[in-house]
Amino acid sequence: MSTSDSTSPRLLFTVLNWGMGHATRTLPLIEHARRSGWVVHVASKGVALQFLRSQCAHSDVAFHEKPNQEIIYSKHGNRLWIALQVPGFLRNIQAERQWTQSFVTRHGITHVVSDNCYGAQTPVVPCALISHQWHLPVGHSGQWAVDAFVRYHARQFDQLWTPDIVENPDLSGKLGAKKGLPVSPQRLGVLSRLPANALNGSWERVGMVSGPEPHRSLMEKALRQWMSQDGRGGLIVSGNPKGTVRTDGSVTTWPNPTALELAGALKGANVVICRSGYSSLLDLAALGIRAILVPTPGQSEQLYLARHWADAFGFSTCTQSELERGEIPDMNGSLPPTSANIQAFEMLNSWVDKTTPARH
């Protein structure tokens, strides 16, 4: 339970609800803020908010819904489909900004930490933006517009933080490039909720399902079919906070395992299959384990990250179509040793200490 008083820092964490990745990587910072005795508010929507509530159910963290534009994906042709949703996305940023300004005033917030929520900013208190997407690979025709969009919204924040290591090669590649940004982003190190000291589990094969529909369900179906074919089975982590544990023959599904359970299962597996979403990659880095990467179809960022990790760290990749056909490569690659969260906690402490008004 928090030991906060009226003079304690009061933090608002805003989390983008595009899958659960932004929620899982922000969770360690939320928990650290709570342990530090600060007043903590968390705002998101949908599955991200459900997940964070489930992980902090017995704490005094306050949860809220905020405006959020969910990107809807199709089975094919995602680039045009996403482009058609841009006007709604821009309207949401404005609604998010108005909501944040009102919330900060009503609750006496002293600091805002935003994970990829461009509108979660106000000039009246210090605001930090967490992102690994300073340079989004969208193709030459629209690259200048996207880069200008990111620069414009980034300069509204006092701090820019990238969850990445400082070594070369780094984890985010050109996505984390600082070219043209008003403030040079600071590296947080690896952010992950998964404990590296978890005991190895007994599952031979583990598949982590993530991402928006319909591709989340398509991946789960393909993993279930692959694991069922030879009788060896495996574990599917379905990323569904409202789901229940189920067993279908030799395949077990965990909808929402604890961090300790998930870390143990991943560490003990001989084969791990997951998306090349950045938060999943951060979890692999935190545990120092390799995996076969399956980028979400039509997501240029995940396609780039899969190529980057194949080139930089020797990881194996396959397409979703290949996964559906059971054409899965051998697992290869290795990662540099790293310790998760320590650097991020130190940076959060330093920022809050330096920007909190003196107490009398």
pLDDT at 228: 93
Task: Render pLDDT for 27-46 as a digit per residue (tens, 0 to 9).
Answer: 999 999 999 999 999 999 99
**Cβ atoms 193, 279 nearer than 8 A:** no
Percent of the chain with pLDDT over 70: 91
Residues in CB range of 188: below 8 A, 6 or more apart: 130, 161, 162, 163, 164, 343, 344, 347
Inside any domain, residue 336: no
Q: Quick one: which H or E segment has residue 357? A: none
pLDDT at 80: 45
Q: Tell me what the mean pLDDT of segment 69-93 comes to.
A: 56
More confident residue, 58 or 8: 8
**pLDDT bucket at 148, cuts 50 / 70 / 90:** confident
Is the pLDDT at 118 greater than 80? The verdict is: yes
Inside any domain, residue 22: yes
Go through the chain and tell me how many residues it has. Answer: 360
Listed in order, strand segments (DSSP E) in 255-311 are 271-274, 292-293
Is the pLDDT at 211 greater than 70? The verdict is: yes
Inside any domain, residue 2: no
Q: Tell me what the mean pLDDT of segment 9-21 comes to.
A: 91
Same domain for 309 and 350, yes or no, is: no
**pLDDT bucket at 19, cuts 50 / 70 / 90:** confident
Task: Render pLDDT for 56-76 as a digit per residue (tens, 0 to 9).
Answer: 877 899 999 998 756 555 455
Inside any domain, residue 211: yes
Same domain for 256 and 176, yes or no, is: no
**Cβ atoms 342, 240 nearer than 8 A:** no
Same domain for 267 and 177, yes or no, is: no
**pLDDT bucket at 140, cuts 50 / 70 / 90:** low
**pLDDT bucket at 100, cuts 50 / 70 / 90:** very high
CA angle 94, 95, 98 (to 5 degrees): 90
Alpha-helical regions (H) of 20-139: 21-35, 46-55, 78-83, 86-107
More confident residue, 117 or 84: 117
**pLDDT bucket at 145, cuts 50 / 70 / 90:** confident
pLDDT at 216: 87
CA neighbours within 13 Å on the CB side: how many for 71?
Answer: 20
Same domain for 139 and 248, yes or no, is: no
pLDDT at 84: 42
Q: Tell me what the mean pLDDT of segment 115-125 comes to.
A: 96
pLDDT at 299: 86
Q: Tell me what the mean pLDDT of segment 216-241 comes to.
A: 91
Q: Determine if the pTM surpasses 0.75.
A: yes
**pLDDT bucket at 2, cuts 50 / 70 / 90:** very low
Inside any domain, residue 335: no
- Return the structure tokens found at 50: 């459900």
Same domain for 236 and 160, yes or no, is: no
Total tally of structural domains belonging to the chain: 2
Same domain for 56 and 97, yes or no, is: yes
Least confident of 32-36, 145-149, 199-203: 145-149
pLDDT at 141: 65
Same domain for 169 and 284, yes or no, is: no
Q: Tell me what the mean pLDDT of segment 232-237 comes to.
A: 94
Same domain for 302 and 224, yes or no, is: yes
Task: Render pLDDT for 283-320 as a digit per residue (tens, 0 to 9).
Answer: 999 999 999 999 998 888 999 999 999 999 999 999 99
Same domain for 163 and 222, yes or no, is: no
Q: Number of helices (H) and strands (E), helices first, in the chain?
A: 11, 14
* Average pLDDT score over the chain: 89
Q: Which domain holds residue 150?
A: 10-191+341-355
pLDDT at 77: 46
Instruction: Note the Cα 269 to chain centre separation in Å.
Output: 22
Inside any domain, residue 38: yes
Same domain for 80 and 183, yes or no, is: yes
Alpha-carbon span 358 to 342, nearest angstrom: 26
Classified as helix, coil or strand, 271 is strand
Same domain for 56 and 167, yes or no, is: yes
Alpha-carbon span 337 to 348, nearest angstrom: 23
- Return the structure tokens found at 360: 């009398």
Percent of the chain with pLDDT over 90: 71
Give the amino acid at 97: R
Inside any domain, residue 137: yes
Beta-sheet pairing, 246-248 with 251-254: antiparallel
pLDDT at 139: 65
What's 50's domain CATH number? 3.40.50.2000
Inside any domain, residue 131: yes
Same domain for 17 and 90, yes or no, is: yes
Among the listed residues 171, 163, 172, 170, the one whose alpha carbon sits nearest the alpha carbon of residue 192: 163
pLDDT at 69: 58
